[in-house]
Each structure stands twice: as C-alpha cells, then as structure tokens.
Structure 1
C-alpha cells in the first residue's frame, strides 16, 4: 500500500517537472511519466529486473524548477530544515497539482 502512495507522489512530482530520473545505464531518464509508473509497478522485463530491483536502481534528482521554487520561498538553505511546515510550499505544490489543497 505504501508503495502505491509513493509511486503516485513520484508521478505527480515528475509531471510537475520538479524531479527527473538521473541518467544511467538503464536509460530511465528517457522514459515518460507513464513508463516510469509501469517500471516501478511491474518491473523492467527488458532488463529482467523485477519491480523491487527497479525501485533500487532508479534515482531521481531535483530539477532547476524545484531549485527556483525553493529559492523563491527562501527554502533553499540548510536552516529551512528547522523552520517546520511551509504553508507557501504546500500552496505552490497544490497549484502544481502535486498535492491536494
């Protein structure tokens, strides 16, 4: 159950352009959001990787869009980890349809 919730969050953040798969030998950075969803749900038959291994093999990184968003909200520093919840960030994520308002 947790996996499906995390998968949905990953897909929403990918669609919003806030994260992207890192380049690697698997070529996942060239895949669409729906292809990433299928890989994480069912595995990579082409490479004979089950879903568990795909979860271990795929890495994501923040994009420039994410950096700009955090910079604009002054959340791009280590001190931001100690300020608690950011309602402006939640609002921005809701506007990007990453989370529900």
Structure 2
C-alpha cells in the first residue's frame, strides 16, 4: 500500500488551528460543532504521510490512526506564554525573536 495523502486546512477564525483530512474537502467526516468553531477552512497543504515523514506536534501513528478511524485530525497550537514573554523582552532589547522551529 502506498503513502496516504493528507490534506491540511487552517482556520481563518481561530489562530493556530489546523484540520487534517484523509480526503480533499471531505468535511462530512467532521462534526458540525467542530466545523462551526473552526470557521471557514482554507486549504494550505497536501502531503504524503509516510514513515519517513517528519511531523511537528503529532506523531505519524497518532495522525494515521485519527485519519483512518475518524477521517480527520484537529491540531491546535497553544502559544507558550513563557516563550511570548521571552520574545517580548528580546524585542524590548532590540533583539530578534527566537524561532519556534528552526529550519534545518
């Protein structure tokens, strides 16, 4: 069996909220209450989920299981208040903010 395609949408209503779908535009799998809270989804990315794929904030197994069982996965990135305070202080000192996920 080949790699599973994953379709990623971001919320225009809530910052840092992403919806991963097993099929493009398959919102029928997502509960209506969740879609109401998510708001209008904006397609941002499609990728092939493979064991070689490095994911951020979710494991390959978690994502694969959710997509297989439910057809979707919701990711909410919660801002780290301590990190925000550190970057506020860096800004006050004229320093650039720290990057969350440095590019390799």
Q: TM-score, normalised by structure 1?
A: 0.25
Higher helix share: 1
TM-score, L = length of structure 2: 0.25
Report the structure, 1 or 2, having the larger strand content.
2
